[in-house]
Amino acid sequence: MELAVVKINGEDTGRKVMLDDSIFGIEPSDHAIYLDVKQIMANKRQGTHDSRERSDVSGSTRKIKRQKGTGTARAGDIKNPIFRGGGRVFGPHPREYNSKLNKKVKQLARKSALTYKAMDKEVLVVEDFKLDAPKTKQYTQILSGLKLDNRKTLLVVNDSDNNLYLASRNVPNAKVLRAESLNTYEILNAKVLVFMESAVKATEKMFSK
Taking only the tens place, the pLDDT of each residue in 30-51 is: 999 999 999 999 999 999 999 9
pLDDT at 28 (0 to 100): 95
What per-residue confidence (pLDDT) applies to 149?
85
In angstroms, how far apart are the furthest CA atoms of the chain? 93
CA distance 168 to 73: 63
Strand partners, 174: 153
Residue 38 one-letter amino acid: K
10, 142 Cβ separation under 8 angstroms: no
- Tell me which CATH code domain 2-45+100-207 carries: 3.40.1370.10
**CA atoms of 88 and 132, how far apart (whole Å):** 57
Give the pLDDT confidence score for residue 153 in this predicted structure: 94
Cα distance between residue 112 and residue 184, in whole Å: 8
Query: Residue 123: what pLDDT?
Result: 94
* pLDDT-flagged residues of the chain (< 50): none
- Side by side, which strands form the sheet with 123-126? 12-18, 2-6, 123-126, 192-196, 153-157, 174-178
- The pLDDT assigned to 32 comes to 97
User: What amino acid is encoded at 87 in this protein?
Assistant: G
User: pLDDT value at position 161?
Assistant: 85
Domain with CATH 3.40.1370.10 in the chain: 2-45+100-207
Decide: pTM greater than 0.85: no
